[in-house]
A and B are shown apart, each in its own frame.
Chain A
């Protein structure tokens, strides 16, 4: 996409990151913002949380909203939720219980919507919803 899109609207923001203590109101970030070490640092930690990202993902305590501020549940979406899957369906096991999977099939074959759940005999399997 456009590097220019990375010019930030962090307008009144004050970073308190260790090194980038800087008022961004008059400068913004003009390049990718990357951590010095991969997979170690966080965005909004220790109670210093961001209100939103790109005005698309919103936060309310530990609730996350897509399109609006969430007020009831852990994940709330304004608009549809689509499982547009290009990956192979994993096996259903206790480690992925609660997983919903939509399998889009070729023309002439119905699609399927399944949820990984355990039955009364303790067997984990894909349960067909559609």
Chain B
């Protein structure tokens, strides 16, 4: 017998089985690997969206917290939040979305992006709510989604942020026209001015927090008069006047009163 080897080989069946098993293993590996990559990409997308959303909210809270005034109409949703800032170089502060990117604009400076191109922000809406007895609240809502590749991950956020800052004025506080408008009125009165003039129970205190008569002064009352003493008549009755005498002439402290004969006279108490 010649021309025929005794060496064992793979049969066709064996080869087919091997290729089938190998292919299955490869396909399984690819599926697992693809799935792993998908999960990893999705986790990355979630992390990116959550971090950028959190950063946006933190920046928003900081700006609202320190704002002098939330300068948008009450109870009306608006897409741009305008805040008045304590620092004149940062005033006004505007926060808005343009081309799916959130921006904050401080004064005249160039807008700064608060989100990157990796996410897309939409439907940003601000609503100011007045808070009787407290400070304004800003309701904010938006949708933020991952904007890279084919991964789809989006979050819709609705939350409320409260303002805590005082209203800081860096210039005189003036009305637009003279003698017409009130500074504090029925339903909204100020407590004090400069910690020197106090208001309480319809009375005014100078240095006195809780005045018991129309005008109460903690300290003395000085009539530091430069003008000449007016005539005492019915329109001046009750007027106190301190007339400073010249050299060698005593001062005179007087009160404009009506006498028993119905004459109005300056009554000298000194």
Contacts and interface: CB of A to CB of B under 8 A. Distances in A.
Contact of A45 (B174, B222, B244, B252): B174
B58 interface: no
Given A82-B212, A87-B218, A97-B242, A51 B179 contact: yes
Chain A: interface residue count, which band?
Answer: 35 or more
A5 interface: yes
Nearest to A113: B269
B173 A120 contact: no
Contacts of A67: 204, 214
A79 B215 contact: yes
Nearest to B227: A74
Interface in A40-67: 41-57, 59, 66-67
Given A17-B169, A55-B185, A127-B253, A27 B71 contact: yes
A4 B217 contact: no
A12 interface: yes
Chain A facing B: main interface SS: loop
A84 B173 contact: no
Contacts of A100: 220-223, 240
B149 interface: no
B7 interface: no
A7 B74 CA distance: 14
A47 B187 CA distance: 27
Contact of B69 (A20, A46, A86, A115): A20
B170 A36 contact: yes
B203 interface: yes
A29 B238 CA distance: 38
Contacts of A73: 236, 239
Interface string B186-203: 111111010001010011
Interface of B: 68-71, 73-74, 84-86, 88, 91-92, 128, 130-136, 163-191, 193, 197, 199, 202-204, 208, 211-225, 235-236, 239-240, 242, 244-245, 247-253, 269-270
Given A50-B179, A51-B179, A56-B199, 16 more contacts: A5-B190, A10-B184, A17-B172, A19-B170, A31-B166, A37-B170, A41-B173, A49-B174, A49-B179, A54-B189, A55-B185, A66-B214, A82-B216, A89-B220, A99-B221, A117-B251
For the complex of A and B, list the 5 residue pairs with the smallest distance between their C-beta atoms, beginning with the closest: A79-B214, A9-B185, A4-B133, A18-B171, A9-B188
